[in-house]
Chains A and B, each alone.
Chain A
């Protein structure tokens, strides 16, 4: 497709379970970002990949959160031992470079019971 694709669109899981969220960036985009949007709030930066450079993990809220990216393609965000405060929409974005406009997917709505 032409845009950023995220899956699943919705995920409901029990507290304590691990979840994996997927992001397919726009083809040719070297930069990929993950953000979290809690209900009624703005977007919080989580992690940023740029080409083969070490990712900027400065926004990850705890060591339960991790992300990987294979080359300049798919990225997965993993949350281990989920907690109720992890409930949010997780948005992925990609861009041609680090100082170019970011294009967003529709997000994954994560609900922790």
Chain B
């Protein structure tokens, strides 16, 4: 069955430190993958997407993600975290038929001053 897994429920990093949030997927073919961010009381904002082509994708707010087929991973990275990055992050995907997104359980990011 198609699935998206985020192994880390909660991560705390210091401001200015680098960040990597993990995401693993299970799809038969190459999926379309996304990272979204959700601040408290808000909807989801799209950070970046992978459809095909270059496996390193750049997004908004200084985020990037790398698609690694061999590891079935699509990890989100940022070289230097800001306090305003504290939020819930969701990895999601759908198959080549499109339609409904399958979401990971989310990773809550806390940023220490």
Contact = CB atoms under 8 A, between A and B. Distances in A.
Contact of A42 (B42, B49, B104): B104
A107 interface: yes
Contacts of A103: 46
B34 to A, nearest CB: 7
Interface residues of B, number: 24
Interface stretch (B13-21, B65-73, B75-83, B93-101): B93-101
A65 interface: no
B27 interface: no
B74 interface: no
A102 B45 CA distance: 9
B41 interface: yes
Given A45-B100, A45-B102, A99 B94 contact: yes
A101 B50 CA distance: 10
A26 to B, nearest CB: 12
B105 interface: yes
A42 B38 CA distance: 11
B103 interface: yes
Contacts of A41: 105-106
Contacts of A59: 100
A4 B44 CA distance: 11
A106 B41 contact: yes
B25 interface: no
B106 A42 contact: yes
Interface of A: 4, 6, 33, 35, 41-43, 45, 48, 50, 56, 58-59, 91, 93, 97-107
